[in-house]
Amino acid sequence: MTTDTAPAAPLAETVLEATDVVMRFGGLTAVNQVNLTVRQGEIVGLIGPNGAGKTTFFNCLTGLYVPTSGVVRYKGQVLPPKPHLVTQAGIARTFQNIRLFSNMTVLENVLVGRHTRTEEGLFSAILRGPGYRRAEAESRARAMELLEFCGLSGKADHLARNLPYGEQRKLEIARALASEPGLLLLDEPTAGMNPQETRSAEELVFAIRDLGIAVLVIEHDMKFIFNLCDRTAVLVQGQKIVEGDRETVQNDERVVTAYLGEPLEGTTTATEADQ
């Protein structure tokens, strides 16, 4: 498992392409003209202060919100504005506040994630023919593989609600991976985790990248982001102000301003020079 940020191949396929995405709620523009591209095999970070519109942008990508204007393409195709169709197309996500099916078992949670990749309907469930049994057995085997991948194989029969917090996060990722996505959106995957848990989450994300799945991750933990991401975009008040590697972002005055506030008058001229 690699821990260094491996540079993406220069001409890798574009997985996600968001063009001029705008999301308005009445008079409030939560996301304003955001462009973002994610290529195959990349880990892209999305940071920004609270209320910057990161999660809203995620929701626009996954069909939970229909953008006021702008286009989101997945592998060249315009995404339909329905969450289940977006998942069908190949984008899976996790949620900022964990949204597991808490009264289902761990294995069942992952099996629900397989929903789009299986097609057994009501009648085949009632008749239970050989085709149904095969598909069900295959789903279970795949789900167990994913649990092992995420380090949860011993807990398949536990209720999701009884897992410790860090493992619930992992289970959410396993569930998202079950839909065999080409792009995984992680919304604050390490929120509330202790350093060890953060570390194992980091390794998990690298392992996912190594599977060939592009990852777009929202996070507040800068160390985590800069360890992990090939590129990082910064969203402030709905607008993307900068995008680039670690140095570009860390040295950008507007990013510092957004996080730490305007410097006192006369102490710096860099911001003014930029404008």
List contacts with other proteins (CB under 8 A): 62, 64, 82-84, 87-88, 92-93, 95, 98-104, 108, 111-116, 118, 120-122, 125-126, 128, 132, 136, 139, 158-159, 161-166, 168, 175-176, 179, 191-193
Exposed (0-12), middle (13-18) or buried (19+): which is 245, by Cβ within 10 Å? Answer: middle
| Shortest Å distance, C-beta 71 to other proteins | 21
- Residue 168 exposure: Cα atoms within 13 Å on the Cβ side: 20
Rounded CA-CA distance 91/113 in Å is 12
Rounded CA-CA distance 92/259 in Å is 29
How many residues are given for the chain? Answer: 275
Measured at the alpha carbon of residue 183, what is the angle toward residues 22 and 142, in degrees to the nearest 5? 145
Name which of 109 and 232 has its Cβ closer to other proteins.
Answer: 109
- Do residues 43 and 228 make contact, with C-beta atoms less than 8 angstroms apart? yes
| Shortest Å distance, C-beta 237 to other proteins | 26
Task: Please give the order of strands across the beta sheet that includes 91-93.
Answer: 91-93, 183-187, 214-218, 43-47, 231-236, 239-244
| Shortest Å distance, C-beta 169 to other proteins | 9
Name which of 215 and 258 has its Cβ closer to other proteins.
Answer: 215
Name which of 137 and 270 has its Cβ closer to other proteins.
Answer: 137
Rounded CA-CA distance 9/206 in Å is 16
Name which of 163 and 229 has its Cβ closer to other proteins.
Answer: 163
Name which of 128 and 134 has its Cβ closer to other proteins.
Answer: 128
Name which of 39 and 114 has its Cβ closer to other proteins.
Answer: 114
The three-state secondary structure class of 176 is helix
- Do residues 56 and 46 make contact, with C-beta atoms less than 8 angstroms apart? no
- Do residues 41 and 9 make contact, with C-beta atoms less than 8 angstroms apart? yes
